[in-house]
Amino acid sequence: MLGQTLRVGSGYGRHEGGQLGTVLLDDDGPGGLEGCAHVVCRLGKVGRTAVCDNRALQRGKCARSLTCSAHNIFRFFCFPRFIAVFALNSLFLTGNFEDMGKTTKKNNWRKGTKVGDVEEVLAKSNFDQQAGQATVSARSNDELFVVDREAREELPDPMENLTHKKKAILERIMKRVDEPIPEPKAAAKKPTIPKAKKTIIKRKEPKKAEAAKMDLWTTDLEPKIDLNDADGARIYKETLKLTRVKQPRTVLAKPSLLRAVALPDAGASYNPDVDDYSEFVSRLVEDEKRVIKKDEKERRRKELKPGQKMITAEEYRREMLEGLGVLEEEKKDAEEEPVTAAPAAAAVDEPMEEAAEAGKKLKKANKAGEKLENEKALPKTKKQRRKEREQELASRKKSKMQTQKELEQSVFKVKKLAREVREEESAREAALKIKREHRAIAKATRRKRHGKGTFEDNMEEFLLAEELPSSMRQINPQGCIVSERFKSYQKRNMIPVPLEEAQWKKKGRLRYKIKEERQSKEVRSNWARSCVSNRSIRSTSTIVSR
């Protein structure tokens, strides 16, 4: 690698905005860096630096010395138009940072640089090489390394002009550089990049809930306050928010009187009695029938009745255009054209007209008959009218007398009437009581409508007669007790019913889905079809041959 120019890949830095470049020293080259415990990087004639900016370079001053191992990554702040020269004592590695920004032309990147120093050093190295002082191994440590003991106060802090972020990055690099250098194990082994250590954080076990150690109902849980100090107590209470709103009665009220655990039907036994079972199953069947009937009704409601048909587009158009004069115009246009279908229509209409006429005649005849009857009825005479009046008066009087008499007679019935009233009242009261009870029970056990979803109860579990187990070992449990619990809470109005079940579905879990491409599908179906047709052909052919 002596005197070799190392072309440093500029790609490392480019994506970071052209400011930070990473240089990997590859020691695969001739001579390599083996045996070098420390590598002092030198820049130019005077300084030794790995970190510099182009201003420092221009001034020919080093910013800071840096010791690093051969395995390490060299990180640089790189700028456009920057050429770095590394000196491994007499070995020179010249890193040529390609222009990372806008300009790629040679002229431009030479513009602000002083290449003279570099050239001088290079020339010296050439001289050294010629003088036979080539190999590193031939030299002593003292010759190879320089211990830098001088404090260079005059030098400005290179960190001064850096942003916080850059400083942080630099510091991190420094830290890593300061780490002890691992012993190179085998010469042949490629140096690996040590990974940043992962801090393994062992999670502490959460505190375990312990068995209760007190009788809750005999211990006083109210916090104790020294009530002698009234002000103190008040402030204490206020600050700790111990003054409490009284518990509303509604909190202790049960939202529903339904049982927490619905008692099972006798027919749901794993080994049921025949009658219990048939009763249970027939009840379920009835329920199912009801559902089917409801569905059927719904279906029929949507169906067209005989004689009805769906409206066509044309009919719809006509209906919409009715009265706008458009249709009339169209009709006129149609009439102007030679009519062919008209006579046939007329032929159809004829019998209808005949029937209508016959009907009219019949009506006329009826009217005539009525008239005749009316002619027969003569106006009433005065006598008749008087008699009618008298009769009416008499009957009215009679009925009045009758009611009066009944009223008077009812005096004797008072006992009976009172009893009747009493009985009626008590019956009504009893009925009312029952009705109120029913209503109260219904209200207390009704599922209220909380939330926008529709509540669907679990289907009642059952086994078919042939599925019933012959022993407990063979029980195949039906239903899900978890969802039953959940539904029970909903049924008892303790939690609302959500809108959709889709909301519980797991989000963000990737699933494989095998999807057949359309093309391959088509190919396959074609193939299948061809197979089928072939077979049919074959079969027909066999028949023929027979």
Partner 1 sequence: MDDTVLDGERNTLGESDRVGGLNLPHDTLQERSEHEQYSPMVNQKRKGEQGAAVNFVSRKKALIKLQLSLNDFRRLCILKGVYPHEPNNRKKVQNGSSERKILYLLKDIKFLAQEPIINQFRNYKVFLRKLNHAKAKREAEKYTKIIDNKPQYQLDRIVKERYPTFSSAIRELDDALCLCFVFARFPRTKQLDTNLINECQRLTAEFMHYCIEARAVTNTFVSIKGIYYQAEILGEKITWLVAHDRGLPVVKQVDWAVLSTFAEFYVAMLSFVMFRLYQSVGLVYPPSIVSGEQTVTVEGGEDEDDEEIKEKIYSLAKPLLKKTGVESFYYNFQIDNDDNMDNFDAVEAEEELQRKLNEKKALKVLFSGSTFWLNRETPKESLAFLIRSCGGKVGWDGAPVDIKEDADSITYQIVDRPMKSTNIGRIYVQPQFVYDCVNARRRLPTSLYAPGASLPPHLSPFHAERAGDYVPVERLEELRAQGKDVTNYVTVDHVVSEEKKQKKPKVVKKKAEGLAVTPGQMHKVNQQRIINLQGEANKMRELMIPKKQQRLYQKLKKGLKRTRTEVIHHPTFLHITSQALLSQRSVLVWTRPRLPQWSSNSTLLFRPSVVQ
**Looking only at residues 238 through 297 of this chain, which bind partner 1 when binding is defined by CB under 8 A?**
241, 244-245, 247-248, 250-252, 255, 257-266, 268-276
**Choice between 441 and 531, CB closer to partner 1:** 441
Q: Which listed residue (473, 509, 511, 513) binds partner 1 by CB under 8 A?
A: 473
Binding residue for partner 1, selected from 152, 380, 398, 433, defined by CB under 8 A: 433
**Phi (first) and psi of residue 283, to 5 degrees:** -65, -45
The stretch among 37-45, 66-74, 451-459, 534-542 that binds partner 1 (CB under 8 A) is 451-459
User: For the packed helices 326-336 and 313-321, what is the interaxial angle rounded to 10 degrees?
Assistant: 110
Of 28-36, 44-52, 314-322, 488-496, the segment contacting partner 1 by CB under 8 A is 488-496
Cα distance between residue 234 and residue 209, in whole Å: 34
Instruction: Tell me if 66 sits within 8 A of 47, measured CB to CB.
Output: no
* 64/237 with CB nearer partner 1: 237
Which residues from 507-546 bind partner 1, rule CB under 8 A?
507
* DSSP strand pairing (20-24 vs 82-88): unpaired
Q: Does 234 bind partner 1 (CB under 8 A)?
A: no
CA distance 332 to 207: 94
Segment near partner 1 (CB under 8 A); pick from 84-92, 355-363, 382-390, 484-492: 484-492
Which residue, 458 or 526, is less far from partner 1 as judged by CB?
458
**CB-based contacts of 61, cutoff 8 Å, min separation 6:** 46, 47, 155
- Are 237 and 224 in contact by the 8 Å Cβ rule? The answer is no
Nearer to partner 1, 144 or 284 (CB): 284
Q: How far apart are CA 64 and CA 48, in angstroms?
A: 7
Q: Which of 332, 504, 512, 518 binds partner 1 (CB under 8 A)?
A: 504
Q: Rounded to an integer, what distance in angstroms lies between the CA atom of residue 284 and that of residue 268? A: 11
Establish how many alpha carbons lie within 13 A of residue 318's alpha carbon, considering only the half-sphere containing its beta carbon.
8
User: By CB under 8 A, which span of 154-162, 315-323, 496-504, 516-524 interacts with partner 1?
Assistant: 496-504
Q: What is the Cα–Cα distance from 64 to 148, expressed in whole angstroms?
A: 11
- Over the window 176 to 215, marking each residue x when it contacts partner 1 by CB under 8 A and - when it does not, the resulting string is ----------------------xxxx-xxxxxxxxxxxxx
Q: For residues 93 and 43, what is the distance between their CA atoms, to the nearest angstrom? A: 10
Nearer to partner 1, 418 or 431 (CB): 418
| Gyration radius (Cα) of the chain, Å | 54
CB of 328 to partner 1, least distance (A): 48
* Phi/psi at 440 (5° precision): -65, -40
Q: Closest separation between CB of residue 294 and partner 1, Å? A: 22
One of 4, 451, 524, 539 touching partner 1 (CB under 8 A)? 451
Return the SS3 of 86. strand
| Nearest-approach distance from CB 467 to partner 1, in angstroms | 9
Write out the H or E segment, with its range, that includes residue 39.
Answer: strand 39-40
Per-residue contact string for residues 391-430; x = within reach of partner 1 by CB under 8 A:
--------------x--xx-xx-xx-xx--xx--xx--x-
Type of residue at 470: S
Residue 184 or residue 255: which is nearer to partner 1 going by CB?
Answer: 255
Q: Which is nearer to partner 1, 261 or 365 (CB)?
A: 261
Figure out which of the listed residues 54, 90, 125, 493 binds partner 1, where binding follows CB under 8 A.
Answer: 493
Q: Distance (Å, rounded) from C-alpha 87 to C-alpha 44? A: 8
